[in-house]
Chains A and B, each alone.
Chain A
Amino acid sequence: MVLLSIVAGLWIATKRIDYTWRWERIPQYFAYHSEDVKTINFDGHVTKIDKKGDLTTVTVKNDIGGETSSFVIDTKTANVSVDEYLMEGDTVGSTREWKAGPLAHGLWVTLWISAVASVIGLVIGVVTGLCRVSQNLTLRQLSITYIEIIRGTPLLVQLFIFYFFLGTVLNIGRLPSGIGALGIFAGAYVAEIIRAGIQSIPKGQMEAARSLGMNVPKAMVYIILPQAFKRTLPPLAGQFISLIKDSSLVSVIAITDLTKSGREVITSTFAVFEIWFVVAFLYLILTFTLSQVVAWVERRLAVSD
């Protein structure tokens, strides 16, 4: 009820500002039919036309050299006949195929940037989390410094530093710097989550593992971390959902992710409202899918409770 009245209110409000909704223009930015026109780059005669259902193979013989070339085209677009003389630049026919539009492409870029950054973040997070609880003072101080610096500065500023400073100094491209910045940013938060998880496991677990003769790394890998991971799954999921959303910031260093694709489509359609709604919805699909997957893993792990 409440939701319906809010939607109705928004609808009336947009009526009053005289905005023309053009939802029908959106689908073509996901996928479109592209036409690939085949032209000939020499003078010659058509020697053979081989029709096979929807596809037709046209063979053309070069008048000067004598060699032949074949073109595969859609039967419907074939507009030549056998023995017809063709000059350089003439059209033989064309093929049509579905191509991913900018929004689909942007969604894909966002997806894989987030996935790679998540993996990097998880690895950095686990290592840093372990350093954070280590007996070694140097490792502990280093990890605290890292966490404090990353958590204490805005991701946008980190992205600029990565792209303009590190990108220039180390000569890395915009994609690696964007993914690196996201991964290192997520790593700091993951580290704190992992540390909390490790510290929440009763001391007796470590003692039991040690009393069986396991060394600290083995006890960590087989006893402590699996339990810590299970406990920290909900906050970790939240962190990775944040990461997907934060990945929209990489559009400022000209990576064509979902957000940047949306902006590009808007410049050519002026369908500002529709596109942003669609972009928001696409992010929602990604994050919702992730939270469902995590919920499933949680249920799987709950068997030992």
Chain B
Amino acid sequence: MIKTVDLEKIFVVRDQVVRAVDGITTHITPGEVVVVIGPSGSGKSTYLRCLNGLETLTAGHVHIDGVDLANRKTDMNKVRREVGMVFQQFNLFPHKTVLENLVLAQMKVRKRSRKEAEIKGRALLEKVGIPEKEANYPSQLSGGQQQRVAIARALAMDPKVMLFDEPTSALDPEMVGEVLEVMKQLAREGMTMVVVTHEMGFAREVADRVLFMDYGKLVEEGTPEHFFTEPKEERAKLFLRQVL
């Protein structure tokens, strides 16, 4: 499904070279839920953003369904339709109602009719548990509701993979649960997911595999049982001692 080979992303900020992602090779299979954890600044988010081409790669390859994102001839827009993304800051479109947020890209990108798109949008709002908010504007919703709309918006495109970039980090604590619940349900339905998060409980419960990153490198990977109980690497042990 997603294959990264020696993925590298280097930022140059005022003559300072930052190796945000430094040679990561992984293979994510269909239906797998992969959770990426690590200390802040370890390059988790950058790694995720490379997976749908929001960051241009410095070196290496990202293959999504066999299409190489590093190839200049690849139509990024075509790839991105198949890869849904949920952001830390929700990034809903503030000038559109909730339903319009879900409908817009379906119509403009997937070329669906308004009727078809609205049926799909309403079904997804039902699924994330806020069908009554379709006529509201994002600013009238709580953070948790906004994030659920954002998930529905990404799902409306019928993606094959969903990427979550710290989806609960900007939420008030009591709203984290409702968003995680939607994500768990998605995982149960067999969606391929890559989740960057600090929610260790979620990782332990839902993940098929945990990737631990530090300084842009993949330090340790394995099943949650293995990772949370007997990590091999010293850095991972230190990190777990601090967060658990």
Q: If the complex has contacts A227-B94, A304-B95, are A212 and B139 also in contact, measured as CB distance less than 8 A?
A: no
One of A110-118, A132-140, A215-223, A284-292 at the interface: A215-223
A204 and B137 contact, CB distance less than 8 A: no
One of B2-10, B101-109, B199-207 at the interface: B101-109
Check: A33 CB closer than 8 A to any chain B CB.
no
Query: Which among B83, B104, B154, B157 is the interface contact of A222 at CB below 8 angstroms?
Result: B104
B52 and A214 contact, CB distance less than 8 A: no
Check: A51 CB closer than 8 A to any chain B CB.
no
Closest Cβ of chain A to B164, distance in Å, is: 12
Q: If the complex has contacts A213-B109, A222-B108, are A304 and B94 also in contact, measured as CB distance less than 8 A?
A: yes
Closest Cβ of chain A to B48, distance in Å, is: 11
Chain B interface residue bracket vs A: 20 to 34
Query: Which among B83, B89, B93, B104 is the interface contact of A211 at CB below 8 angstroms?
Result: B83
- B103-145 interface (Cβ within 8 A of A): 104-105, 108-110, 137-139
Chain A hits for B97, CB < 8 A: 304
Q: Give the complex CA separation of A301 and B94 in angstroms.
A: 11
Q: Give the complex CA separation of A215 and B108 in angstroms.
A: 10
Query: Which among B54, B84, B154 is the interface contact of A207 at CB below 8 angstroms?
Result: B54
Q: Give the complex CA separation of A210 and B87 in angstroms.
A: 12
Check: B40 CB closer than 8 A to any chain A CB.
no
Closest Cβ of chain A to B24, distance in Å, is: 20
Q: Give the complex CA separation of A304 and B104 in angstroms.
A: 16
Chain A hits for B150, CB < 8 A: 208
Closest Cβ of chain A to B114, distance in Å, is: 14
B94 and A208 contact, CB distance less than 8 A: no
A305 and B139 contact, CB distance less than 8 A: yes
Q: Give the complex CA separation of A64 and B187 in angstroms.
A: 104
Residues of A that sit less than 8 Å from B by CB: 202, 204-205, 207-215, 218, 222-223, 226-227, 230, 301, 303-305
Residues of B that sit less than 8 Å from A by CB: 52, 54, 77-78, 80-81, 83-85, 87, 89, 91-97, 104-105, 108-110, 137-139, 150, 153-154, 157
Chain B hits for A213, CB < 8 A: 77-78, 80-81, 105, 109-110, 157
Residue of B nearest to A207 (CB): B54
B95 and A210 contact, CB distance less than 8 A: no
A212 and B154 contact, CB distance less than 8 A: yes
DSSP majority for the A interface? helix
Q: Which 10 A-B pairs have the closest CB atoms?
A: A213-B81, A208-B91, A212-B105, A204-B91, A211-B85, A304-B137, A213-B109, A213-B80, A215-B77, A213-B77
Closest Cβ of chain A to B18, distance in Å, is: 18
B94 and A218 contact, CB distance less than 8 A: no
A211 and B95 contact, CB distance less than 8 A: no
A208 and B80 contact, CB distance less than 8 A: no
B137 and A211 contact, CB distance less than 8 A: no
Query: Which among A207, A303, A304 is the interface contact of B87 at CB below 8 angstroms?
Result: A207
Q: Give the complex CA separation of A205 and B101 in angstroms.
A: 12
Residue among B81, B94, B109, B138 with the highest chain A CB neighbour number at 10 A: B94
B94 and A211 contact, CB distance less than 8 A: no
Closest Cβ of chain A to B232, distance in Å, is: 35
Query: Which among B89, B95, B138, B157 is the interface contact of A212 at CB below 8 angstroms?
Result: B157
B80 and A210 contact, CB distance less than 8 A: yes
19 A-B pairs with C-beta separation under 8 A: A202-B89, A204-B87, A207-B87, A208-B87, A208-B92, A209-B105, A210-B77, A211-B52, A211-B80, A211-B83, A211-B85, A212-B153, A212-B157, A213-B81, A222-B104, A227-B94, A303-B137, A304-B94, A304-B138
Residue of A nearest to B78 (CB): A213
Q: Give the complex CA separation of A227 and B54 in angstroms.
A: 22
